[in-house]
Amino acid sequence: MNISHSLKRTGTILSFLLPSFIGFIIFVLLPMIMAFGLSFTNYSGGPNFRFIGMKNYVVAFTNPEFLKYLWVTFKFMTVTVVFQIGLGLVFALILARDFRGCSFFRGALYLPNILSSVAVGLAFMFIFEPTSGFMNQFLISVGLPTSKWLASSKSALSVIITIAIWQNFGYYMVLFIGGLQNISQTLYEAAGIDGANKWKQFVHVTLPGLSPMLFYGITIAVIRGFQVFDYIYIMTGGQQGGGPAGSTNVLAFDIYLNAFTYFRFGYASAESVVLMIIILAMTFLQSHGQKKWVSYDII
Amino acid sequence: MRTKKILLVLTLIACLASPVFAAGASETKAAPAADGPVVISYYTWDDSSHKALIDTFNATHKDIQVKAQILPAADYETKLTTLLSGRADIDAFMEKRQVDMFGQYDNGYLEPLDSYIAATGKPNPAVEAFKSSSVINGDTVVIPWRGGAYYTYYNKKVFEKAGVPTPDYYVKRGEWTWKKFEEVAKAITAADPSLVGSTIYIWGGQGFFQAGQAGDSIVTPDGKIDNIDNVVKQLEMRKRLEDVGAMWSLVDMKVTKLHYSKQFYDGNVGMLLIGEWFPGQMVTGRNDGLLAYDFEDWGITRLPCDQSEYVTVGLPTGNCITSYSKKKQAAFEFINWMSGPEGAAIAASYGVLPAAPGEAAKAEIAKNLPKGNSLDYFLEEKGNNTANFSPYGTRVETEFAKLQEDFLLGNINIEQFKTNFTKLLNDIIKTTY
């Protein structure tokens, strides 16, 4: 009876898991295995390819352009993570409290996150149009010097980073508001009785209480930062090689160019594997490091 | 036990994967119906002239019917490659980016067409007209349908406003050189700073006009760097023109996605150097009410040229047959018809320059061009060179475009450009394997 019940239960669990598991295998595991395999070949989209060992990896790491794209990716990731998490936290602290209009502000700040990156990219492309765009018109109207924005290799990446931060920090804000609302008020009362001022309460109660959410938020932001592609593709040149002068080319964009413009699928796969390893390593480091700063038992 | 588990997982993966890979293969097994016409599957992009050609062919041929598979023009090349690698049901297809033929040929996707052409009993005029860009390793792999040639398109009103003679004046006198082009573009903008003397679009290949005319390959098909002096010469000219506002800024065009047709429609650009398809866009502009001037107020003449004998540049657009097609003869008959006199006449009625225009096509083209000498220049016999037609072509163009922007933005000087470009070409040659 017990065995039969246990088998039935296992069967039910498996039947619920199977669709996702099949999806995972077809759409995640298999492409990963195939990309890894292809990274050791000169595959160009046809049957005539051969095993070339580590050549794609050697070519990538001896190519200054690849290292430059890696550096641009790191810059994008670092700045967006710092500001998205920072702004998310600041606005969460302000909007976690109940006051008249707080729902409106929460909604307004979260709204950009539900918009398509493509639509946002196109809209900002017009705002930052280098000759007669809204931003330059505004600067002229207040007597400030104009900029070439997306048309300059010096400012294009900063513009894209700013837009990415604007669109995404609301997501982290909502996440942190949820975390803040879960911190027990009694902890603040106890800290107050012990003579802790607001800053000390923030450092010793809020931050530890919020640390699981912060950990999750940073992890997601880092992964998203490394994977950025859509803004670059839409706002700075698409299939024409990104730009200007390759200044906004991140690794994901170079993978796209090599795979779908040059049809160097083998090399692009090697770049993808490198990107995956970097993301895995960062996630592992964060996961390993969380023991030192994430508290799951304070709430 | 552990090995068994691993084997079990691998077997499961293999079982799950097999239908995915089998799906592509099963499509190719579809045999033609025993009765009725042979139906061929033909891939192309969303262009009104392509649709008209297919419809006319189907209406006039009882034994062969073309089932059109229309893909969006954007990313057509990517989708086509994916379909070919999955051995999708494709009998014939239109090649959008000609240099992609090298990779497709290497992968064995393209059917050599020489025996089919020989069976017709006469050489194919379209192939003969564009032999150098239709043949790979001695095999004819494409039948050109649309001709490839760049011209100077000019706006008569802009020239009138600036008080400068139109380019055809200089062509008649044999003076339409790149130096004269620069001079004229600057004169237009100097006369009225709201006018832009000229436009050369953002595509990397547009930087190789002078090199192409001189017969330089940039990188030869067998992997050697050719002369790059003419690339440098054109780039320096572009910078001089951009600096005084006599050419539309390349970087601005790119980031604002400002299309060359829009610039020309708006009536502020004096000259546009673009390909043979542009009259079709002008017809569309007229029909859609987008022109800021009268249809008769523009003209076509030769591309500026420094060579002793006039030569333009451009690659034709053509059709290929897949090596795995089960209906190759029917597919050949369709693509051969498309590049023949009937297909050419239909193409011409859409403002397209056919690869081999017959008399009927010429009459149709005349209807879509402004009066005057434009038709003569559009159809004149001329040399046509194809710079950068090699397996390295796409990478050379895209990577050149980046370096070109670096120079135009003032990040590097011309000597650094030369050094970096040579290094880049070497890298491309070394890493194409």
Interval B140-156: pLDDT, tens = 999 999 999 999 999 99
In this complex, the residue of A44, A47, A59 whose CB is nearest that of residue B103 is A44
Over residues A26-54, the mean pLDDT reads 94
Task: Tell me the domains of chain A and their CATH numbers.
Answer: 53-117+160-293 (1.10.3720.10)
Map residue B320 onto helix, strand or coil: strand
Q: How confident is the model at residue A88 (pLDDT cuts 50, 70, 90)?
A: very high
Q: Which residues sit opposite B198 in a β-bridge?
A: B247, B271
Tokens of A89: 């936290």
Contact at CB, A26 and B402, closer than 8 angstroms: no
Contact at CB, B84 and A46, closer than 8 angstroms: yes
Asked if pLDDT for residue A298 goes beyond 90, the answer is: no
Q: How confident is the model at residue B47 (pLDDT cuts 50, 70, 90)?
A: confident
Angle made by CA atoms B207, B211, B217, in degrees to the nearest 5: 105
**Mean pLDDT of chain B, nearest integer:** 90
Nearest Cα of chain B lies from the Cα of A122 at a distance, in angstroms, of: 9
Interval A130-153: pLDDT, tens = 888 899 999 999 999 999 999 999
Dist. CA B46–CA A273, nearest whole Å: 36
Dist. CA A41–CA A281, nearest whole Å: 24
In this complex, the residue of B106, B249, B399 whose CB is nearest that of residue A48 is B106
Q: How confident is the model at residue A205 (pLDDT cuts 50, 70, 90)?
A: very high
User: Is the alpha carbon torsion for B123, B127, B130, B133 positive or negative?
Assistant: negative
Q: How many CB pairs under 8 A join A and B?
A: 118
Asked if pLDDT for residue B29 goes beyond 70, the answer is: no
What's the confidence (pLDDT) of residue A239? 66
Burial zone of A245 (CB within 10 Å; 0-12 exposed, 13-18 middle, 19+ buried) = buried
Total residues belonging to chain B:
433
Contact at CB, B255 and A244, closer than 8 angstroms: yes
Dist. CA A168–CA A182, nearest whole Å: 23
Asked if pLDDT for residue A261 goes beyond 90, the answer is: no
Asked if pLDDT for residue B139 goes beyond 90, the answer is: yes
Asked if pLDDT for residue B361 goes beyond 80, the answer is: yes
Asked if pLDDT for residue B375 goes beyond 90, the answer is: yes
What percent helix, strand, coil does chain B show, rounded to 5? 50, 15, 35
| Residues of chain A in Cβ contact (below 8 Å) with chain B | 22, 25-26, 29-30, 33, 42, 44-48, 52, 55, 59, 63, 125, 129-131, 148, 150-153, 156, 235-237, 239-246, 257, 260-263, 267
Dihedral of CA atoms A94, A99, A100, A101 in degrees, nearest 10, equals: 30
Residue in chain A closest to B392 (alpha carbons) equals A262
**Mean pLDDT of chain A, nearest integer:** 92
Query: Could you tell me if B375 and B369 are in contact, meaning their C-beta atoms sit under 8 angstroms apart?
Result: yes
Helices (H), chain A: 2-24, 30-38, 55-61, 64-95, 102-114, 117-127, 134-141, 156-181, 185-193, 198-201, 207-226, 230-235, 251-256, 265-293
The string over A195-230, giving b where at least 16 C-beta atoms fall within 10 Å of a residue's C-beta and e elsewhere, is ebeeeebeeebbebbbbbbbbbbbbbbbbbbbebeb
What's the confidence (pLDDT) of residue A240? 72
What's the confidence (pLDDT) of residue B378? 95
What's the confidence (pLDDT) of residue A296? 83
Percent of chain B at pLDDT > 90 equals: 75
Q: How confident is the model at residue B2 (pLDDT cuts 50, 70, 90)?
A: low
Over residues A203-213, the mean pLDDT reads 94
Pick left, alpha or beta for residue A264 (phi over 0 → left; psi -120 to 50 → alpha; otherwise beta). Answer: beta
Asked if pLDDT for residue B86 goes beyond 80, the answer is: yes
Residue in chain A closest to B18 (alpha carbons) equals A26
On whether the B29-146+316-357 domain is CATH 3.40.50.80, my answer is no
User: Is the alpha carbon torsion for B115, B120, B122, B127 positive or negative?
Assistant: negative
Map residue B93 onto helix, strand or coil: strand
B170 or A260, greater pLDDT: B170
B-chain residues within 8 Å CB-CB of A244?
251, 254-255, 405, 409
Contact at CB, A151 and B75, closer than 8 angstroms: no
Contact at CB, A52 and B394, closer than 8 angstroms: no
Contact at CB, A125 and B256, closer than 8 angstroms: yes
B-chain residues within 8 Å CB-CB of A268?
none
Omega into A244 within 30° of 0, i.e. cis? yes
DSSP H/E element including B40: strand B38-45
Tokens of A9: 């239960």
Q: Give the number of other Cβ atoms within 10 Å of residue B255's Cβ.
A: 28
| Residues of chain B in Cβ contact (below 8 Å) with chain A | 12-13, 16-17, 20, 75, 77-78, 81-82, 84-85, 100, 103-104, 106-109, 202-204, 249, 251-252, 254-257, 394-395, 398-399, 401-403, 405-406, 409, 411, 427, 431, 433
What's the confidence (pLDDT) of residue B5? 52
Query: Could you tell me if B93 and B44 are in contact, meaning their C-beta atoms sit under 8 angstroms apart?
Result: yes
Dist. CA B79–CA B81, nearest whole Å: 5
Q: How confident is the model at residue A3 (pLDDT cuts 50, 70, 90)?
A: confident
Which residues, at least 6 apart from B190, have a Cβ–Cβ distance to it below 8 Å?
Answer: B244, B246
Dist. CA A50–CA B247, nearest whole Å: 47
A-chain residues within 8 Å CB-CB of B433?
42, 52, 55
What's the confidence (pLDDT) of residue B101? 94
Over residues B245-255, the mean pLDDT reads 93
Tokens of A172: 């982290």
Q: How confident is the model at residue A220 (pLDDT cuts 50, 70, 90)?
A: very high
Nearest Cα of chain B lies from the Cα of A84 at a distance, in angstroms, of: 26
What's the confidence (pLDDT) of residue A11? 92
B-chain residues within 8 Å CB-CB of A260?
75, 78, 81
Dist. CA A160–CA A125, nearest whole Å: 10
Asked if pLDDT for residue B32 goes beyond 50, the answer is: no
Which is nearest to A150 in space by CA: A173, A174, A123?
Answer: A123
Nearest Cα of chain A lies from the Cα of B167 at a distance, in angstroms, of: 29
Q: How confident is the model at residue B22 (pLDDT cuts 50, 70, 90)?
A: very low
Asked if pLDDT for residue B23 goes beyond 70, the answer is: no
What's the confidence (pLDDT) of residue B8? 47
Asked if pLDDT for residue B160 goes beyond 60, the answer is: yes
What's the confidence (pLDDT) of residue A127? 92
Predicted model pTM: 0.86
Over residues B323-338, the mean pLDDT reads 97
In this complex, the residue of A129, A156, A241 whose CB is nearest that of residue B402 is A241
A-chain residues within 8 Å CB-CB of B81?
45, 260, 263
Nearest Cα of chain B lies from the Cα of A3 at a distance, in angstroms, of: 23
Measured in whole angstroms, the distance separating CA A264 from the mean position of its chain's CA atoms is 26
Which residues, at least 6 apart from B72, have a Cβ–Cβ distance to it below 8 Å?
Answer: B45, B46
Contact at CB, A42 and B84, closer than 8 angstroms: no
What's the confidence (pLDDT) of residue B24? 39
On whether the B150-313+385-430 domain is CATH 3.30.420.40, my answer is no
Which is nearest to A157 in space by CA: A233, A65, A232, A71?
Answer: A232
What's the confidence (pLDDT) of residue B12? 45
Map residue B103 onto helix, strand or coil: helix
Question: Which residue is it, tokens 């017969």?
Answer: B215
Cα A1 to Cα A11, A14, A33, B56, B219, distances in angstroms: 15, 20, 42, 74, 77
Cα A130 to Cα A138, A145, A149, B189, B194, distances in angstroms: 12, 12, 6, 20, 17
Dist. CA A67–CA A65, nearest whole Å: 5
Asked if pLDDT for residue A2 goes beyond 90, the answer is: no
What's the confidence (pLDDT) of residue A1? 55
Q: Which residues of chain B form CATH 3.40.190.10?
A: 29-146+316-357, 150-313+385-430
- Read off φ and ψ for residue B86, nearest 5 degrees: -90, 5
What's the confidence (pLDDT) of residue B54? 96
